[in-house]
Amino acid sequence: DADVTQTPRNRITKTGKRIMLECSQTKGHDRMYWYRQDPGLGLRLIYYSFDVKDINKGEISDGYSVSRQAQAKFSLSLESAIPNQTALYFCATSARTGPQHFGDGTRLSIL
Amino acid sequence: AQKITQTQPGMFVQEKEAVTLDCTYDTSDQSYGLFWYKQPSSGEMIFLIYQGSYDEQNATEGRYSLNFQKARKSANLVISASQLGDSAMYFCAMWLNNNDMRFGAGTRLTVKP
């Protein structure tokens, strides 16, 4: 089983819909992150959480919200999806020091 | 501005040869971390190597080594003895003191048989 699991893996939806992407991890890490990847831009940090009560905005948080339901679960929501939020979304986890470990990504298309 | 720059959109290397992927960074922080990740065509992000800003020795992990030149603010990835399976996108990333993580735009490496 994957250490960092993202669901769904793919999602196509319409403009204006509310979308939730979920992430769960079995690595026991306190820190969790959400990124989006656009072609030619690399990954950009949306939100990060260092524990259940700690949520922080990243570089591009507008239009997104997150919820840290438990140490192992971190969900990303798009309250009213728009086409320019079409992207590949990654969840990642890390210990206090060391590398981030990524899930396999969620490919989101907003029509 | 906190920024990571990868100036090579694409690189080609012959199988079994070494290749260097460039990465420069810009930060005023004294404490930071530098990472390299590999993204194959299947899409997952695979951690390769890490260098801390206070580490005096260059990091190495198997066929991967990081050529860290702090004064020049560069953290180039060297892959020795390239294999066909090394063909992928490679991303340089920097972790900053304000808990921000910045990625470069990536370099697509193609290994030719």
Task: Inform me whether the pLDDT recorded for B103 exceeds 80.
Answer: yes
The pLDDT value given to residue A2: 67
CA B68-B57-B53 angle, 5° bins: 55
Q: Which two tokens stand for residue A27?
A: 């690595």
In percent, how much of chain B has pLDDT > 70? 98
Distance in Å, alpha carbon of A16 to nearest chain B alpha carbon: 27
Across the A:B interface, residue pairs with CB atoms under 8 Å apart total: 49
Closest residue of chain A to B9, computed from CA coordinates: A40
**pLDDT tops 90 at residue A98:** no
Residue type, B66: L
Structure confidence at residue B100 as a pLDDT band (50, 70, 90) = confident
Q: Judge whether residue A36 has pLDDT over 70.
A: yes
Q: Radius of gyration (Cα) for chain B, nearest Å?
A: 14
Per-residue pLDDT of B43-71, as tens digits, reads 889 999 999 999 889 999 999 999 999 99
Q: H or E stretch including B34?
A: strand B33-39
Nearest-CA distance B93 → chain A (Å): 9
Type of residue at A39: P
Average pLDDT estimate for B28-32:
89
Indicate the SS3 state at residue B111. strand
Percentage of the residues of chain A whose pLDDT score is greater than 90: 87
Query: Which residue is closest to A100 within chain B, CA to CA?
Result: B47
The structure tokens listed for A1 are 């089983």
Residue A57 has pLDDT above 80, yes or no: yes
Q: What is the pLDDT of residue A1?
A: 58
A3, A23, A44, A102: best to mutate for the B interface, most B CBs within 10 A: A102
Using alpha carbons, select from B28, B95, B34, B31 the residue that is nearest to residue B67. B34
C-alpha distances in angstroms, A11 versus A47, A79, A89? 20, 15, 11
Q: CB neighbours (10 Å) of residue A94?
A: 21
Q: Does B103 touch chain A (CB under 8 A)?
A: yes
- Distance from C-alpha of B17 to C-alpha of B83, rounded to nearest angstrom: 9
Residue A97 has pLDDT above 90, yes or no: no
